[in-house]
Structure 1
Amino acid sequence: MANTASAKKMARKIARRTEVNRARRSRMRTFIRKVEEAIAAGDRAAAAEVLRTAEPEIMRAAQKGIVHKNTASRKVSRLASRIKALGA
């Protein structure tokens, strides 16, 4: 447990930041799930449209430090390739 005033303040800040990060990560995962559901339904147009809304959310999570930028790029790339494969 934190003893000094500064350590107590840092504990409060960390708790607040953890909540924000948890919400951002959850939001990103929700957008990814929506894309995956559209892919599973086999609707290429709908999946492409949902990916267009999900991509900024995923990249914003990378920008905020929730996920690494390469991880975010990989997720977007793999979703895009799966959508592209629907048309083939």
Structure 2
Amino acid sequence: MTDIIGWTASAILLATLVRQIAKQSASKDREAVSAWLFLGQASASLLFVVYSVLLENWVFTVTNSCLLITAIVGQILTRRKS
């Protein structure tokens, strides 16, 4: 039961971030979001992946790995607009 709560939270968070990245990539405004946001998110997510692996917590390992991917995709899309 506890894992179901974690996986549900993970799915909601990832869906929210994917939607935000899609909205930002469709925006004509190049300054819609700072590239530093994605750099900070990627750095934090990478450290959280390491931490989650060390704790052997698969919900957080998978979630933080996916968050790292969204940060990288967001950074790429932001740079392409510049």
* TM-score bracket for the superposition, by shorter chain length: 0.5 to 0.7
State which of 62, 66, 82 in structure 1 corresponds to 2:62. Answer: 66
State which of 44, 67, 85 in structure 1 corresponds to 2:80. Answer: 85
Task: Work out which structure has the larger RCO, using CA pairs closer than 8 Å and 6 or more positions apart in sequence.
Answer: 2
CA contact (8 A) 1:38 1:47 kept: yes
CA contact (8 A) 1:35 1:47 kept: no
Aligned pair count reads: 70
Q: 1:74 to 1:31 in 2, by over 3 A?
A: closer
Aligned-residue offset at 1:18:
1.1
Runs of at least 5 residues in structure 2 that lack an aligned partner in the other structure? 53-59
CA contact (8 A) 1:44 1:83 kept: yes
State which of 24, 33, 36 in structure 1 corresponds to 2:19. Answer: 33
RMSD (Å) for aligned C-alpha atoms: 3.3
Aligned-residue offset at 1:36:
1.9
Runs of at least 5 residues in structure 1 that lack an aligned partner in the other structure? 1-14
Asked if 1:19 corresponds to 2:19, the answer is no
Aligned-residue offset at 1:72:
4.1
Identity of aligned residues (%): 10
Bigger Cα Rg = 1
Aligned-residue offset at 1:21:
2.0
